[in-house]
Amino acid sequence: MTYSERMFDQARPVARERLLETLAAEREINSLDFAGMAFDSLDLSGKVFIGCRFSRATFTNVNFEHCRLRMCFFDFSVFNRCSLRECDIQFCSFAGVRITDSSFGNSDLLHDNFNGILASNTSFADSDLYNSRFVMASLKDASFQNCNLKKTMFCQTTRERVSFKSSNTREAIFAKGENPE
């Protein structure tokens, strides 16, 4: 049994309706499994998520602004027209996620895993991405303007119309001989 399976083993199986009720009623949500669920036009702003699993979930027009997330898993999820602005997101995994027309602007995205993401028309502008990873990510029409990129890895990324303007790219990690622009 893997660590993440053990982590959610304590969470009792909860019906989808009850999970949605919990999302609406509670400010802080701990160790719940929302994997595979679809979320459309929800306002989750200001919520705190700790140790929750959202793997393979779909988010459309969801507002996560001002949220705090710790050790949450969004692996292989889809974000379309979502706002994760002004969030505090640490030690979370967004590996393999597809992100379209969304924003993580003005956020603290520390020690996060964005490996293998497919991001188009997405902004990370004015964010602190300290020690996060975008290994083998595909970034198209993405903005990393005015970001802290210290120890942020962009190795083997595919980048098309990506802006790093006013960001500290010299402190970021790119593949040998790779130019950030």
Residue 22: partners with Cβ closer than 8 Å, 6 or more residues away:
14, 29, 32
In this prediction, residue 96 carries a pLDDT of: 98
11 is written with which tokens? 């969470």
* Residue ranges of domains in the chain, CATH in brackets: 3-171 (2.160.20)
In order of 34, 37, 58, 152, the CA distances from 20 in angstroms are: 9, 10, 14, 35
Confidence band for 28, pLDDT divided at 50, 70 and 90: very high
Q: pTM for the full model?
A: 0.91
CA nearest to 72, candidates 46, 57, 54, 86: 54
In this prediction, residue 7 carries a pLDDT of: 52
Other residues' Cβ atoms within 10 Å of the Cβ of residue 159: 18
Q: What's the pLDDT tens digit per position in 50-81? A: 999 999 999 999 999 999 999 999 999 999 99
